[in-house]
Amino acid sequence: MATWPSSLPQSPLLEGFSDRPQNSVLRSEFDGYTKQRNRFTATLSNVTERYYMTSQQFSTFKDFYFNTLGNGADEFSKNDPVEGVNRIYRFVSPYEEQVVGLDWIVTLSLEKIT
Protein backbone atom coordinates (compact mmCIF):
# COMPACT_ATOMS: atom_id res chain seq x y z
CA MET A 1 0.00 0.00 0.00
CA ALA A 2 1.21 3.49 -0.82
CA THR A 3 2.22 5.93 1.91
CA TRP A 4 1.79 9.71 1.94
CA PRO A 5 5.20 11.06 0.82
CA SER A 6 7.42 12.38 3.61
CA SER A 7 8.38 15.39 1.47
CA LEU A 8 4.76 16.64 1.56
CA PRO A 9 3.28 18.57 4.49
CA GLN A 10 2.35 16.11 7.25
CA SER A 11 -0.38 18.25 8.86
CA PRO A 12 -3.24 20.01 7.06
CA LEU A 13 -4.21 23.63 7.60
CA LEU A 14 -6.68 24.12 10.44
CA GLU A 15 -8.88 26.31 8.26
CA GLY A 16 -11.20 24.11 6.22
CA PHE A 17 -10.40 20.87 8.07
CA SER A 18 -13.33 18.57 8.84
CA ASP A 19 -13.69 14.95 9.91
CA ARG A 20 -17.25 13.61 10.04
CA PRO A 21 -18.20 9.96 10.61
CA GLN A 22 -20.58 8.45 8.08
CA ASN A 23 -23.84 7.07 9.39
CA SER A 24 -23.42 3.32 9.76
CA VAL A 25 -26.72 2.64 11.54
CA LEU A 26 -29.66 1.12 9.68
CA ARG A 27 -33.09 1.91 11.16
CA SER A 28 -36.23 -0.15 10.54
CA GLU A 29 -39.67 0.54 12.01
CA PHE A 30 -41.89 -2.32 13.21
CA ASP A 31 -45.37 -1.38 14.50
CA GLY A 32 -44.17 1.82 16.14
CA TYR A 33 -40.93 0.32 17.44
CA THR A 34 -37.71 1.26 15.70
CA LYS A 35 -34.97 -1.31 15.48
CA GLN A 36 -31.38 -0.25 14.84
CA ARG A 37 -28.30 -2.18 13.81
CA ASN A 38 -24.87 -1.44 12.41
CA ARG A 39 -24.49 -1.92 8.67
CA PHE A 40 -20.71 -2.23 8.74
CA THR A 41 -18.02 -3.58 11.02
CA ALA A 42 -15.69 -0.73 10.01
CA THR A 43 -16.77 2.88 10.09
CA LEU A 44 -15.83 5.48 7.52
CA SER A 45 -15.36 9.20 7.95
CA ASN A 46 -15.62 11.96 5.35
CA VAL A 47 -12.52 14.12 5.69
CA THR A 48 -11.67 17.46 4.09
CA GLU A 49 -8.08 18.59 4.37
CA ARG A 50 -6.28 21.62 2.93
CA TYR A 51 -2.52 21.75 2.49
CA TYR A 52 -0.22 24.65 1.73
CA MET A 53 2.40 23.39 -0.76
CA THR A 54 5.37 24.83 -2.57
CA SER A 55 5.55 24.26 -6.32
CA GLN A 56 8.00 21.38 -5.75
CA GLN A 57 5.68 19.77 -3.17
CA PHE A 58 2.69 20.20 -5.48
CA SER A 59 4.62 18.47 -8.26
CA THR A 60 5.40 15.59 -5.85
CA PHE A 61 1.73 15.45 -4.82
CA LYS A 62 0.54 15.24 -8.45
CA ASP A 63 3.00 12.42 -9.13
CA PHE A 64 1.70 10.61 -6.02
CA TYR A 65 -1.95 11.15 -7.01
CA PHE A 66 -1.70 10.28 -10.73
CA ASN A 67 1.07 7.68 -10.84
CA THR A 68 1.33 6.06 -7.41
CA LEU A 69 -2.42 6.07 -6.68
CA GLY A 70 -3.61 5.50 -10.26
CA ASN A 71 -5.49 8.81 -10.64
CA GLY A 72 -6.50 8.73 -6.99
CA ALA A 73 -8.15 5.29 -7.17
CA ASP A 74 -5.94 3.40 -4.70
CA GLU A 75 -5.90 3.54 -0.91
CA PHE A 76 -2.94 5.01 0.95
CA SER A 77 -1.79 5.41 4.52
CA LYS A 78 -0.98 8.68 6.23
CA ASN A 79 -0.95 10.21 9.66
CA ASP A 80 -4.36 11.12 11.12
CA PRO A 81 -3.85 14.75 12.23
CA VAL A 82 -6.33 14.40 15.10
CA GLU A 83 -5.28 11.06 16.59
CA GLY A 84 -1.61 11.11 15.55
CA VAL A 85 -1.65 7.51 14.23
CA ASN A 86 -1.48 6.11 10.70
CA ARG A 87 -4.85 5.46 9.06
CA ILE A 88 -5.96 4.28 5.64
CA TYR A 89 -7.46 6.88 3.30
CA ARG A 90 -8.83 7.05 -0.22
CA PHE A 91 -9.94 9.93 -2.42
CA VAL A 92 -13.69 10.51 -2.76
CA SER A 93 -13.23 13.00 -5.59
CA PRO A 94 -10.31 14.68 -7.36
CA TYR A 95 -8.30 17.29 -5.47
CA GLU A 96 -8.80 21.03 -5.93
CA GLU A 97 -5.91 23.40 -6.42
CA GLN A 98 -5.67 27.13 -5.76
CA VAL A 99 -2.70 29.35 -6.65
CA VAL A 100 -1.36 31.54 -3.83
CA GLY A 101 1.48 33.65 -5.21
CA LEU A 102 4.07 31.08 -6.34
CA ASP A 103 2.66 28.37 -4.08
CA TRP A 104 -0.51 26.28 -3.86
CA ILE A 105 -3.35 25.42 -1.53
CA VAL A 106 -4.57 21.92 -2.31
CA THR A 107 -7.93 20.70 -0.96
CA LEU A 108 -8.51 16.97 -0.57
CA SER A 109 -11.87 15.19 -0.20
CA LEU A 110 -11.03 11.91 1.48
CA GLU A 111 -12.65 8.92 3.08
CA LYS A 112 -10.89 7.69 6.21
CA ILE A 113 -11.23 3.99 6.94
CA THR A 114 -11.19 3.37 10.69
SS3 111: strand
- The residues spanned by each domain of the chain are 2-113
Give the separation between CA 11 and CA 53, rounded to whole angstroms: 11
Tell me the average confidence (pLDDT) per consecutive run of 10 residues in the chain, 114 residues long.
Answer: 97 88 67 67 86 97 98 97 93 97 96 86
The class that CATH gives domain 2-113 is: mainly beta
Q: What is the DSSP letter of 101?
A: T
Give the separation between CA 40 and CA 50, rounded to whole angstroms: 28
Q: What is the pTM of this model?
A: 0.81
